[in-house]
Amino acid sequence: MKHKRVFFTFIYFAFSLIASTANSQSYQDIEKLPFSEIAKYADYDKTPNILNSVEIVSRLRSLLEDDYQDFAANFKDWSIPVVLGSRGVFFDGWASNDFENPRASAFLIYPDGQLYAAYTQKNSNIIKYYTNENKGYIERIHPAFKAWQLRFEGQFLFFDRDEQELSWTDRYSLDGSQQSMLTAALTSEQQAQLRKVAESLWGLVTTANWEMDERLGRVISEATDEILKCSTAYSLVPKPAGFAPGVYYIVSNAEPIASYFLGLKSAPQPQYRFCINATALKHRSAATMAGLVI
């Protein structure tokens, strides 16, 4: 009887070792991708071309299988790509601006071959989530996708390819090499001024838990530049004086900038509202991930 227990114990550990090795090997076998191949699509003018990349599309098709067409069909408009730590790049887009019933997709790809993807379908509160990480870690939804999910109205649920619901967990944490490196901290007064502009673009509820730092300031600066350019011919409220790239122009001119943005949002002319709303949407993923320090 004792020998049988020893034998079955040996068999159990042998199978456990084989399974563990198989999982590890499957991850190690993921083919790496040169960062240059990913980074070139971080240029917004080239971003839509990423779905013409044979290398990247083949990986997405392999990951999503039969769901790839539904996933790809959502990329009618694109957000500004976000370069995360460890040189991963997050891409997202949508088929409509209705974020109560959205059709939107996103994917994140790292040079080491890690790939994550998710998409929604109209009139559904389900986000289908995919990753080539080990199956045992599927419940650890990447923080970038939690940040992406926050743009949708209502309660959205994550499901995997097998239609199993995934619960959000804080156990997933980015390591030091993946954490965003914060630049020099702003003073409390500068943070308060930056928050005024952030709230005028994305709203109080959305920005309530955001960190106000120079990384977010750069995103707001880029969005402000675009809004001032697309509203050049508008004469609704006084425009902020001049423009200079960078966070310090934003915090020094926060009151007139925020007033101008709120004026555009409440204007009766649809082209005024489109100018600011489209730009805010385009930069929202970058702003959210900067504000949540992802």
pLDDT digits 0-9 by tens, 207-236: 999 999 999 999 999 999 999 988 877 766
Write the single-letter amino acid at 76. Answer: K
Q: How far apart are CA 216 and CA 287, in angstroms?
A: 6
Asked whether the predicted pLDDT for residue 21 surpasses 50, the reply is: no
Q: What per-residue confidence (pLDDT) applies to 42?
A: 93
Asked whether the predicted pLDDT for residue 176 surpasses 90, the reply is: no
Count of CB atoms within 10 A of residue 68's CB?
A: 17
Count of CB atoms within 10 A of residue 141's CB?
A: 21
Strand bridging mode 115-120 / 165-166? unpaired
Q: What per-residue confidence (pLDDT) applies to 10?
A: 38
Q: How far apart are CA 216 and CA 289, in angstroms?
A: 9
- Tokens in use for 176? 């030091």
Residues in CB range of 276: below 8 A, 6 or more apart: 201, 227, 231, 261, 264, 265
Q: How far apart are CA 26 and CA 15, in angstroms?
A: 16
pLDDT digits 0-9 by tens, 119-171: 988 778 888 899 887 654 455 788 899 889 888 876 677 877 676 777 654 33
Q: CA angle 253-254-260, nearest 5°?
A: 95
Asked whether the predicted pLDDT for residue 245 surpasses 60, the reply is: yes
Write the secondary structure of the chain as one string of H (helix), E (strand) and C (coil).
Answer: CHHHHHHHHHHHHHHHHHHHHHHHHHHHCCCCCCHHHHHHHHCCCCHHHHHHCHHHHHHHHHHHHHHHHHHHHCCCEECCCEECHHHCEEEEEECCCCCCCCCEEEEEECCCCCEEEEEECCCCCEEEEEECCCHHHCCCCCHHHHHHHCCCCCCCEEECCCCCEECCCCCCCCCCCCCCCCCCCCCHHHHHHHHHHHHHHHCHHHHCCCCCCHHHHHHHHHHHHHHHHHCCCCCCCCCCCCCCCCHHHHHHCHHHHHHHHHHHHCCCCHHHHHHHHHHHHHCHHHHHHHHCCC
pLDDT digits 0-9 by tens, 76-111: 999 999 998 767 999 999 987 666 667 899 999 999
Global model pTM greater than 0.85: no
Asked whether the predicted pLDDT for residue 258 surpasses 60, the reply is: yes
Asked if residues 150 and 99 have their Cβ atoms less than 8 Å apart, the reply is no
Whose CA is closest to 292, among 205, 210, 185, 195? 210
Q: What per-residue confidence (pLDDT) applies to 256?
A: 94
Q: What per-residue confidence (pLDDT) applies to 126?
A: 85
Q: How far apart are CA 218 and CA 26, in angstroms?
A: 39
pLDDT digits 0-9 by tens, 37-46: 899 999 999 9
Q: Tell which wins on pLDDT, 153 or 67.
A: 67
**CA torsion angle 234 219 45 226 (round to 10):** 10
Q: How far apart are CA 64 and CA 128, in angstroms?
A: 10
- Tokens in use for 78? 């694109």
Highest mean pLDDT among 4-13, 15-24, 236-245: 236-245
Length of the chain in terms of residues written:
294
- Tokens in use for 242? 């001049």
